[in-house]
Amino acid sequence: MSEKRNDNAAGKYAELRIFGPALPMHGKEKDTMLRITIRPHWELVPERENAVDTTGLLVLLAAVQDTGSLAQAARSVGWSYRHAWGQVKQAEALFGRPLIDAGRGRGSTLTEVGLKLIWADRRIAARLSPLLESLASELEGELERTLVLEDARAVLRLDASHGFAVAALVEQLEAGGTTVELRYRNSLESVAALARGECDLAGFHVPSGELETPALARYLRWLKPAEHRLLHLAHRTQGLFVARGNPKRIRSLADLARADVRFVNRPEGSGTRVLTELLLARQGLSPQQVAGYDDTELTHAAVAAYIASGMADAGIGVQTAATRFGLHFIPLLRERYFLALPAAALGRPQLQPALALMQSPALRAAIAALAGYDARDTGRLLSLREAFELPG
């Protein structure tokens, strides 16, 4: 398989599924809110044969990786052993190489090709999930407004960079019946959208300590002490991701300048990209000294998947992503994640569920359970002056 970067690696299309009963018409009350999920779906397409649908194959290969047995893997996915073996052989015929190494009495393991397929799928999911979740959220909002105009719900518009605490917040809001129109955007785009009135809440994060002032300066172009308030969502740890076992023996940011270390970055405008720029400047390194500085992935999870699959040696992100992808994590600093909102909007109906949930033990417990996250200040409502000790 070619390991060339390709932003269209998810294949030709994505699945769209609508869950829940059909929306009643003529003003009748709905039984449940509409839920839409959009999932990547990709295929292996030989030049003159039928395509191999990877959906079931990848589930099977992951089960082989977990159980060490093709027979157990087949049972776990509800397939007969014969069907599972046939699916594997069809894919192996396409590649001309085995996907599974099965030896008598020693179980089954994935070959290098099999592992590449697993990691390709994980990179696709990590890279595309935020985009597809945002699109699904927009579609939900559009259908709600179109089909239930006379009984429209108050929709909470949330723009935020993709993060694990944000995901926990949205999940609990929707479980409680709040319609959330979520757009995953980088931190600078989110606060700019708030200033333009395009959202109700905007997520952004700022490092604690000496880097706080230069990082905050990027956001004060749009956030005004007299006009905005901040909801504290979480404290979290950012650091270096490196491969399991740290085979390159990376110890600090200084190692990013080594010729044998490949870095993967976050896009321009993201809070972590801002943080990376500040950290390198403090270390006395220029972007030109870092191999791979211009290679980017959209989320913390996508950076982690990229490194775990062997495409790069290091990246910067939150500890939760490193833990979930089995990476070694080197802490660099703590930061605070906020949701900004207009001070004049505190009484608006669409904000009340979020304000209440931010004070709840359930959300704090969910955030505290994330590796590298701290929920001790979750739900605090602050002015910019209180949060950052700005002059009056």
CATH code of the domain containing 166: 3.40.190.290
Spatial contact of 93 and 279, defined as CB atoms under 8 Å apart: no
What is the model's pLDDT at position 19?
Answer: 46
Residue 141's pLDDT band (cuts 50, 70, 90): low
What is the model's pLDDT at position 36?
Answer: 72
Predicted TM-score (pTM) of the model is 0.74
**Average pLDDT for 58-64:** 87
Based on the fold, state whether residues 335 and 251 are members of the same structural domain: yes
Based on the fold, state whether residues 108 and 207 are members of the same structural domain: no
Higher pLDDT, 246 or 60: 246
Based on the fold, state whether residues 234 and 169 are members of the same structural domain: yes
In a domain, 142, yes or no: no
- Name the least confident of 15-29, 74-88, 241-255: 15-29
Kindly provide the residue ranges of all beta strands, DSSP E only, lying in the chain, ordered along the sequence: 13-19, 35-41, 43-44, 52-53, 100-102, 108-110, 155-160, 179-184, 201-207, 228-242, 263-264, 314-318, 328-342, 373-374, 381-383
What is the model's pLDDT at position 200?
Answer: 96
Segments forming the whole domain that contains residue 286: 154-392
CATH of the domain at 53: 1.10.10.10
What is the model's pLDDT at position 21?
Answer: 43
Residue 155's pLDDT band (cuts 50, 70, 90): confident
What is the model's pLDDT at position 201?
Answer: 97
Q: Is the pLDDT of residue 14 over 80?
A: no
Based on the fold, state whether residues 171 and 115 are members of the same structural domain: no
- What's the number of domains the chain is made of? 2
Based on the fold, state whether residues 210 and 352 are members of the same structural domain: yes
pLDDT tens-digit readout, 23-50: 444 444 444 456 677 777 776 666 556 6
Residue 360 in tokens: 């709840």
Higher pLDDT, 351 or 6: 351
In a domain, 240, yes or no: yes
Based on the fold, state whether residues 206 and 299 are members of the same structural domain: yes
**Average pLDDT for 78-97:** 86
Higher pLDDT, 154 or 253: 253
What is the model's pLDDT at position 234?
Answer: 97
Q: Is the pLDDT of residue 222 over 70?
A: yes
What is the model's pLDDT at position 378?
Answer: 97
Structural Rg of the chain based on CA atoms: 23
**Average pLDDT for 305-330:** 94
**Average pLDDT for 294-322:** 93
Half-sphere exposure of 228 (CA within 13 A, CB side): 27
What is the model's pLDDT at position 52?
Answer: 67
Give percent above pLDDT 90 in the chain: 53
What is the model's pLDDT at position 4?
Answer: 35
What is the model's pLDDT at position 49?
Answer: 61
Based on the fold, state whether residues 267 and 125 are members of the same structural domain: no
Sign of CA dihedral 318, 376, 389, 346: positive
Q: Is the pLDDT of residue 10 over 80?
A: no
**Average pLDDT for 248-275:** 95
- Name the least confident of 58-62, 152-156, 188-192: 152-156
Spatial contact of 174 and 133, defined as CB atoms under 8 Å apart: no
Pairing label, strands 155-160, 179-184: parallel
**Average pLDDT for 367-391:** 95
In a domain, 349, yes or no: yes
In a domain, 378, yes or no: yes
Based on the fold, state whether residues 113 and 218 are members of the same structural domain: no
- Name the least confident of 101-105, 208-212, 242-246, 349-353: 101-105
Higher pLDDT, 173 or 96: 173
Cα-based torsion angle of the residue sequence 166, 169, 174, 180 in order, rounded to the nearest 10 degrees? -50
Based on the fold, state whether residues 191 and 249 are members of the same structural domain: yes
Q: Is the pLDDT of residue 376 over 60?
A: yes
What is the model's pLDDT at position 116?
Answer: 82
Q: Is the pLDDT of residue 363 over 70?
A: yes
What is the model's pLDDT at position 11?
Answer: 38
What is the model's pLDDT at position 46?
Answer: 62
Contacts of 134 (CB under 8 A, 6+ apart): 182, 183, 184
Which of 317, 310, 276 shows the shortest CA–CA distance to 293?
A: 276
In whole angstroms, what separates CA 18 from the centre of its chain?
Answer: 22
Q: Which of 111, 137, 163 is the last residue of a domain?
A: 137
Based on the fold, state whether residues 101 and 248 are members of the same structural domain: no
In a domain, 146, yes or no: no
Residue 193's pLDDT band (cuts 50, 70, 90): very high
Based on the fold, state whether residues 99 and 192 are members of the same structural domain: no
In a domain, 149, yes or no: no
**Average pLDDT for 200-225:** 95
In a domain, 167, yes or no: yes
Q: Which of 81, 111, 137 is the last residue of a domain?
A: 137
Residue 219's pLDDT band (cuts 50, 70, 90): very high
Q: Is the pLDDT of residue 15 over 60?
A: no
Mean pLDDT of the chain: 84
Based on the fold, state whether residues 204 and 280 are members of the same structural domain: yes
In a domain, 358, yes or no: yes
Q: Which of 78, 108, 137 is the last residue of a domain?
A: 137
Spatial contact of 368 and 230, defined as CB atoms under 8 Å apart: no
